[in-house]
Structure 1
Amino acid sequence: MEKPPPEKSGSFSGHNVESHPPESEAEGELEDRENAKESSSISDSALPQVSQDIDGFLSHLSLHDDKSNPPDVPDSVEVFCKLVEAMIGNYDSGDSSARFGQVPEEDTAFVESVGRISKLMNALRGFPVESPAAAMYGRSGSVLQRAMSFLEDELRTLLEDSRSHISDSKSLKTKHPSFNSKEDHDRCPLPESESTGDDEYPAYPPEVVASMKKIAMAMISAGYETECCQVFSILRRNAFKEAINKLGFDSISIDDVQKMHWETLEGEIAKWIKVVKHCSLILFPGERRFAESVFEDYPEIFSSQFSNLARATVIHFLNFAEAVAMTKRSAEKLFKFLDMYESLRDLVPAISSPTSDDNGHELKSETMTAGSRLGEAAVSIFCDLENSIKSDVSKTPVPSGAVHPLTRYTMNYLKYACEYKDTLEEVFQQHQKIERTDEAGSDVDERSSQNNSRLPVKQTPFATQLIAVMDLLDSNLDTKSKLYKDMSLRYIFLMNNGRYILQKIKGSSEIHEVMGDTWCRRRSSDLRQYHKNYQRETWSKVLQCLRDEGLQVNGKVNKPVLKERFKTFNTLFDEIHKTQSTWVVSDEQLQSELRVSISAVMIPAYRSFLARFSQYLDSGRQTEKYVKYQPDDIETSIDELFDGNPTSMTRKRT
């Protein structure tokens, strides 16, 4: 919409109008007072009648197509202009009770009158310069310009005056803890007051928002959209930046991020995550509601205002995220990368709206791209776990067959990683799509399809990777078990590590969900087989000493053979006890299962053998010499196995 001549530049700090411009500020104020006095003779009740006359004149002008034949201008036009000037003068009088926003009915009447002035100016445009219509065009334009100047100042004042509400808002001072605190874990949800997103931000009272909306409608309708939006945009951007600064957010350059030690960068990431979350949950939704309320009748303007404000802040978030994604990758960074990915993912809906303009769509796309880069970095780090397992080729066995440090590290890493299971599923799905896009040739796609056909139907890319890691760990542990020369200890090692892995998976619903019951049953079956192999390697030779075969010749017990059997049994059992009491089975249930199973085969066999053949030994020293243990002694000795401490067995007597 064309504005009244002459054109102004920048703001309304000076009013250059066509008709009777005041020579100074003092003269302008004097003119306002004179106009107010002149119009005081016109009762306030006259405004409706004069407004009606103006509407009639506007209707008449809409039918007047011949610009070369100017119409007569009724006196009510000048009266109306003076009434509007009087309204402005009354607002500017310094009386707080007369300020804009104090009496809604008067504000509405003023805004409607300004709308009529705007329509009047546009309807009077184009008539010959010397005509009364052209003179009144300049007059109405001057009034409109003064009205716009006043409204712009009022909008600025309303926006600035309420900044104190923002500064003192409980949502920023008391409800939100310091984001510099290192005590809070990043994955912990925000406090309830934060997570609801119901905090009043920005803290503008409803009546103030209503006044801003009236001003915005008046300025935009009069063709002063640029001036209105500029004031709103600058002040809201400054207020938003102030709110961000209160949260401890600082922009960090890419170079500075690259130079930071991980411990320092980790702290900056934690602060970044919490600031982004706060923006997603509170600040951006608050700004969206506020801008939508002010520009309710202008969705495109609202969308543009919000997306421009969001871009001014989010671009700093994205720069930091991009810089972090470019840092050297290492295992300990995985979880921070995933936290950042989740933060950007949750930020997308907060900066989007159904009426987003091109800038809004572009910002959404840039945010998703930055998140994808973090996701790709996370995938790369997680997949590198395979290399870590492959590179662990230590030639020194873990003492006593205990759980290997590689097993502990891998399983704890996977357990923590699977707390992000849904996010890892998401980033692996995205990674797979990128890989498919990059693949060329139907042969590759066909091979991929054939490989996938061997996998369970519902197996996801992340599950496939997780199972690959587990299989690689199994293979590595199997290789490490061969470092033990003692076959029995080899199976103790495999049982210890297998049990540790199984317990970790059963103890984490996230990993268990990915690995599935079938995998767990297969692992349990492997453990049972290790147990059987241990029993065979350790106790089968001992049990052979307690067999009947070879003890009788021609129906009589061969005492020398019997004595040799007892001696061999004692030697073997002593050796096993001495050795295996130093072995470690840290899982109490597994330790108990081993002892019970050993007792179940050893105690009955020994008790039966002793009962049947001890009588063939001469009583006294000979019995003492060959019958070293009673059944209870055997049970006590078995209960001392796998404690990790050598114990000296004391010979028991009957």
Structure 2
Amino acid sequence: MDSRNQAPQKSSSFSSATTNKASREVDRNLSLGALRHGDHDRRSGAGATWEQIKEEGEEEEEDGSGDPGVSALSGEIDAFIHHGGVSIPETTLVKFADAVELQIAQSEKARDKWAADGNGELLLAAIARVAALAKNPEASTKYTSGARRVTTVMHHAMAFLENEFHGLLEPKAKDTCKLARRPPSFEQGGHEADRCVLQAPDTGVANTTAETTPPYPPETVDRLRSIADAMVGAGYVTECTQMFLVARRSAFEMSLLGLGYEKASIDDVVRMTWEALETEMATWIKAFRHSINVGFSTEHDLCSRVFAGRHASVGRAVFADLARCVMVNMLNFTEAVAMTKRSAEKLFKVLDMYEAIRDASPVIDAFLSASAEDEPAADSHRNALTDLKAEIAAAHSRIGESAASIFCELESSIRADAGRQPVPGGAVHPLTRYVMNYLKYTCEFNSTLEQVFRQHRRRDDDGGNPFAAQLTDVMELLNTNLEGKSRLYKDPALSNIFLMNNGRYMLQKIRGSPETNAMLGETWARKQSTNLRQYHKNYQRETWNRVLTLLRDDGVLTVKGHVQKPLVKERFKQFNSAMDDIHKTQGAWVVSDEQLQSELRVSIAAVVVPAYRSFLGRFAQSFSAGRQSEKYVKLSGEDLEGIIDDLFDGNPSSMSRRR
């Protein structure tokens, strides 16, 4: 059956669904590749004659492949374009232009434009010939009327290709990612829109574990490549690349919107509450990492596929422009964050941003390296990527400076905390809890903060870790602050309990965090333990030395073997009063650390109880049994142990109530 009588079928990659030997031969002769200098010679043989070339065109017409007018004239047109000195009638130019325009008109009316004649590649080949004629100086000088007609058809053809290129780039309704309606950028609450992501093919440039889908099916990419090849070859590189750039930038922004990210102005960011800003920062980090690790790889691959072969440099330039456009908008957010009021709670999200930006630089370096290998000569797209790398480095520096300043604000906060009200019971001060918990989480970023302080807070640290040195400064400052607060207590014993509580809390927090412990080191821990032992000794001296003095026979209670009963009575009265006072006051004091509480009670009992039992054994028989004994000897050894066990649990009591 004659192929011209068959109904056109849908094609993919501009190829007919059914082809025969004749159509394949036409496709080889009329493909865009035939317009490259020297290609025609290789197929027709060196020194091909005009008659041979013309016979090829006539054979194609007899085969019935494609439009007969275009096919019959293509051989003459190719000879004119590629063989200097070959002349053709001006009417041939006009007829060829008319035939191509008719072919375009038929394609414009068809549902599947690229299957109108059974083979879209034939139409592109014809359009490429028109473009070559329009640029041919001999045609423009020898055939004025024909050249004008060719130029008119070329403009029509380029408009047609622009429409087709744009239509292929725009997502179809069924393929459009249906994004969940996102609340305004600054609203709170968890929300996760359906993700519309870009593919991250294995380009060797960036690795990602994200599940992605291709932005276009393979047949669409093939069509885009063919149209781009025709448009760029015709000199319409600006129109082609701008359409591609606008479409892909829009698609990129839609994918980020699917991740919940929306652009916000610097003024909006600066005015945000911390709760709103924290949400925006988390969303930005997710979107930024997606862009670097997924989006860029996808777009790089797509650009290299659409602008392939001799137009590869165009694709690299498009990718570089796209990457820079996307990143400039995203990096504006980092500048806005750096301008917000610095406060301690922002540190961790700022460090997350710092790490995300830091990790982006090697990815851009990889694209730059790949570009240098493909095309060593410097060009505009490499300059764009170099500019982008510089902008990322600047954003990294701004965020790093902000992180360093935020951490240093902690020192200012400690210095400014000069409260005049002591914590009841000598308990752990809220400042101590806040600082130590803050440092615990801060030290989880220890390697990052080391980078930050090495870059932004240079100090004479003998080549050591500048963040560790900064951390030591904070601990010394906190200790100094707490020593000042301890003087708010009128009772020196309670001052030492306060210092013990806070010092023990600090030590436990440090030892409970491997990162913090590694940063401060054993030297600091040993110094802190020494301080704690000193506070303990000071407390015992202030409270119990006076009690032990009452239980000591210093040569006054017995004279020449005789007990001085009035003095013994007074000693018992003083001891009972002292223990009642200690029980009542120190029972209200707080030692929340169970181990420290136990250590204090055991150390007190180990000294006081044996001394009291000895005193009781020597002088209790001085009193007659009955009321006199009960009046002065109010505590047994077991009672004294019970009083000591009641200390430091925050429950004030008196000896009489206990009994």
Of stretches 358-367 and 45-54 in structure 1, the one that deviates more from structure 2 is: 45-54
Q: Could you tell me which of 497, 500, 504 is aligned with 2:505?
A: 500
Corresponding position: 1:479 with 2:484? yes
Q: Could you tell me which of 28, 35, 43 is aligned with 2:64?
A: 43
Match of 1:96 in 2: 112
Match of 1:393 in 2: 418
Q: Compared with structure 1, are the counterparts of its residues 547 and 74 closer, same or farther at alpha carbon in structure 2 (3 Å cutoff)? A: farther
Q: Deviations over 1:431-484 (max 9, x none)?
A: 136xxxxxxxxxxxxxx6xx434xxx53x2222222111111111111221222
CA distance in 2, matches of 1:98, 1:386: 70
Q: Compared with structure 1, are the counterparts of its residues 181 and 508 closer, same or farther at alpha carbon in structure 2 (3 Å cutoff)? A: farther
Q: Deviations over 1:215-244 (max 9, x none)?
A: 223332343322211221222233334444
Alpha-carbon RMSD across the aligned residues, in angstroms, is 4.3
CA distance in 2, matches of 1:568, 1:284: 84
Match of 1:452 in 2: 461
Shift of 1:503: 2.2
CA distance in 2, matches of 1:320, 1:88: 47
Corresponding position: 1:218 with 2:230? yes
Q: Is the 8 A contact 1:331 1:382 kept in 2?
A: yes
Match of 1:11 in 2: none
Q: Compared with structure 1, are the counterparts of its residues 44 and 60 closer, same or farther at alpha carbon in structure 2 (3 Å cutoff)? A: same
Match of 2:440 in 1: 415
Corresponding position: 1:328 with 2:364? no
Match of 1:16 in 2: none
Match of 1:379 in 2: 404
Match of 2:321 in 1: 308
Q: Deviations over 1:34-74 (max 9, x none)?
A: xxxx997552299999899679948972xx4xxxxx32459
Of stretches 518-527 and 233-242 in structure 1, the one that deviates more from structure 2 is: 233-242
Match of 1:291 in 2: 303
Letter of the 1:411 partner, please give it: M
Q: Deviations over 1:576-627 (max 9, x none)?
A: 1111011111222222221222222233333344345434443323332232
Letter of the 1:212 partner, please give it: L
Shift of 1:491: 0.8
Give SS of 1:357's match. Answer: helix
TM-score (norm 1): 0.74
Q: Is the 8 A contact 2:245 2:322 kept in 1?
A: yes
Give SS of 1:165's match. Answer: coil
Q: Is the 8 A contact 2:496 2:538 kept in 1?
A: yes
Matches within 5 A, 1:187-202: 198-200=210-212
Q: Is the 8 A contact 2:107 2:114 kept in 1?
A: yes
Q: Is the 8 A contact 2:487 2:495 kept in 1?
A: yes
Match of 2:244 in 1: 232
CA distance in 2, matches of 1:652, 1:376: 60
CA distance in 2, matches of 1:263, 1:577: 48
Q: Is the 8 A contact 1:307 1:351 kept in 2?
A: no
Q: Could you tell me which of 146, 163, 169 is aligned with 1:159?
A: 169
Match of 2:654 in 1: 648
Q: Deviations over 1:408-427 (max 9, x none)?
A: 23223333433443333232
Match of 1:545 in 2: 550
CA distance in 2, matches of 1:177, 1:256: 16
CA distance in 2, matches of 1:266, 1:508: 25
Give SS of 1:634's match. Answer: helix
Matches within 5 A, 1:559-578: 559-578=565-584
Letter of the 2:110 partner, please give it: G
Of stretches 592-601 and 470-479 in structure 1, the one that deviates more from structure 2 is: 592-601
Q: Is the 8 A contact 1:582 1:643 kept in 2?
A: yes
Match of 2:31 in 1: none
CA distance in 1, matches of 2:191, 2:572: 63
CA distance in 1, matches of 2:301, 2:414: 51
Consecutive unaligned residues in structure 2, runs of 5 or more: 1-58, 201-206, 372-380
Q: Is the 8 A contact 1:121 1:137 kept in 2?
A: yes
Corresponding position: 1:341 with 2:354? yes
Match of 1:18 in 2: none
Letter of the 1:452 partner, please give it: D
Give SS of 2:461's match. Answer: helix
Q: Is the 8 A contact 2:81 2:133 kept in 1?
A: no
Letter of the 1:625 partner, please give it: K
Match of 2:591 in 1: 585
Q: Compared with structure 1, are the counterparts of its residues 395 and 651 closer, same or farther at alpha carbon in structure 2 (3 Å cutoff)? A: closer
Shift of 1:391: 2.4
Shift of 1:331: 3.4
Q: Compared with structure 1, are the counterparts of its residues 465 and 127 closer, same or farther at alpha carbon in structure 2 (3 Å cutoff)? A: same
Q: Compared with structure 1, are the counterparts of its residues 476 and 60 closer, same or farther at alpha carbon in structure 2 (3 Å cutoff)? A: closer
Of stretches 634-643 and 273-282 in structure 1, the one that deviates more from structure 2 is: 273-282
Match of 2:392 in 1: 367
CA distance in 1, matches of 2:645, 2:633: 20
Q: Compared with structure 1, are the counterparts of its residues 56 and 253 closer, same or farther at alpha carbon in structure 2 (3 Å cutoff)? A: closer
TM-score (norm 2): 0.74
Letter of the 2:573 partner, please give it: K
Q: Compared with structure 1, are the counterparts of its residues 334 and 253 closer, same or farther at alpha carbon in structure 2 (3 Å cutoff)? A: same
Q: Deviations over 1:609-649 (max 9, x none)?
A: 43454344433233322321122211211111112221132
Q: Is the 8 A contact 1:535 1:598 kept in 2?
A: yes
CA distance in 2, matches of 1:350, 1:522: 45
CA distance in 2, matches of 1:508, 1:245: 38
CA distance in 1, matches of 2:236, 2:638: 101
Q: Deviations over 1:484-532 (max 9, x none)?
A: 2322111101011111222222333332232223322321222122122
CA distance in 2, matches of 1:270, 1:45: 57
Q: Is the 8 A contact 1:584 1:643 kept in 2?
A: yes
Q: Is the 8 A contact 2:586 2:648 kept in 1?
A: yes
Q: Compared with structure 1, are the counterparts of its residues 164 and 279 closer, same or farther at alpha carbon in structure 2 (3 Å cutoff)? A: farther
CA distance in 1, matches of 2:439, 2:575: 46
Q: Is the 8 A contact 2:140 2:147 kept in 1?
A: no
Q: Compared with structure 1, are the counterparts of its residues 611 and 210 closer, same or farther at alpha carbon in structure 2 (3 Å cutoff)? A: farther
Q: Could you tell me which of 530, 536, 540 is aligned with 1:535?
A: 540
Q: Compared with structure 1, are the counterparts of its residues 290 and 406 closer, same or farther at alpha carbon in structure 2 (3 Å cutoff)? A: same
Give SS of 2:137's match. Answer: coil
Q: Is the 8 A contact 1:580 1:642 kept in 2?
A: yes
Match of 2:34 in 1: none
Q: Could you tell me which of 585, 589, 602 is aligned with 1:596?
A: 602
Q: Compared with structure 1, are the counterparts of its residues 261 and 198 closer, same or farther at alpha carbon in structure 2 (3 Å cutoff)? A: closer
CA distance in 2, matches of 1:521, 1:317: 47
Q: Is the 8 A contact 1:54 1:116 kept in 2?
A: no
Letter of the 1:522 partner, please give it: K
Q: Compared with structure 1, are the counterparts of its residues 60 and 360 closer, same or farther at alpha carbon in structure 2 (3 Å cutoff)? A: closer
CA distance in 1, matches of 2:486, 2:390: 51
Q: Is the 8 A contact 1:39 1:83 kept in 2?
A: no
Corresponding position: 1:71 with 2:86? yes
Q: Compared with structure 1, are the counterparts of its residues 416 and 54 closer, same or farther at alpha carbon in structure 2 (3 Å cutoff)? A: farther
Q: Compared with structure 1, are the counterparts of its residues 128 and 206 closer, same or farther at alpha carbon in structure 2 (3 Å cutoff)? A: closer
Match of 1:35 in 2: none
Matches within 5 A, 1:257-268: 257-260=269-272, 262=274, 265-266=277-278, 268=280
Shift of 1:251: 4.2
Corresponding position: 1:515 with 2:528? no
Q: Is the 8 A contact 1:389 1:472 kept in 2?
A: yes
CA distance in 2, matches of 1:114, 1:519: 79
Letter of the 1:155 partner, please give it: F
Q: Is the 8 A contact 1:295 1:302 kept in 2?
A: yes
